Structure 1
Amino acid sequence: MTVHGKMEIDLEIRAPADRFHNVFSCRPHHISNISTDKIHGVDLHDGSWGKAGCVISWSYTHDGETKVAKEVIESIDDEKNSTTFRVIEGDLMKLYKNFVLIVHATPKQGGGSVVHWALEYEKLSEEETEPYSLLQFCVHVSKDIDLHLMEQAQAQTQA
């Protein structure tokens, strides 16, 4: 029997929503240079960076283990600063029949943004635990990206 689930979390960041969104939608391959202890590589397998339908693979460390995931970017909504990834191969497919990650950034009044992560999944077994640690992993990577974007903005201001 499969079990459907959805986990969501919001976090506030200082970076503008459009710049944060641009990292996931158009430049995910830069994340391995931003969050080096978590993301080790992001490679394009098919399509073009920044285009829905492209296939990318991630090498990352989660829960102390090196893992891989191949994903298709299902949709990019630049107006809503939202990107949807569907996992099609890799370590997560050992536990889940379907796994989708949605990251959405909303501008906050007065500056900064709220990043909303949603994980939608179908477990292969009822006994499998919920992906809480993966949701926290997404939060930590988001914080790394926020710090990087703010350091970039500060460097540009000082130049």
Structure 2
Amino acid sequence: MTLPAPINEQHRLLCVHTDDIDPVDVGAVLPGLKVWPLFLDSENGYWILRVQFAPGTRLPMHFHTGTVHFYQLSGVWNYAEYPEDVLKANSYLYEPGGSIHTFMVPEDATEPSDGFMVVQGSNVNFTEEGEFVNVMDAGWIEHVILECCKAQGRPIPRYIKPMAKAGFSDAE
């Protein structure tokens, strides 16, 4: 067997150095969050982010349509539904699709919670009473990041975005 011809030519390493860029403050939409977008693929439903959550941050209760892999870099957080299960620095969390929970960083946390997440699908967000709020997916996150950068007069940070163009395989 011979080496196959490349389908996609790669001429450089696709890498985002989060220590070299400032996070995007998305607090106007998601209070307490600063985000480093790493990979946003709205067509395939993947979003990969590094996120810093301020002490006291509480996200809406949400339903995961897909899986989540989360690596905690520093700080702590837990789900309101499981207060005894605290994710601390250098921990890995797997969340199955179909799970429902409410993310929170304790008010008395001594530092922001900083983590890296790989999410497939979307979060369907609800109020504490179970009323629908919105759907958070790769496209929505990209929109929020772009709008926050525009409002703050800052450049859009570099992130990886698949560039496939949908169309027919045959030329008509």
What range is the shorter-chain TM-score in? under 0.3
Scaled by the length of structure 1, the TM-score of the pair is: 0.28
Higher strand share: 1
Higher share in helix: 1
Larger CA Rg, structure 1 vs 2: 2
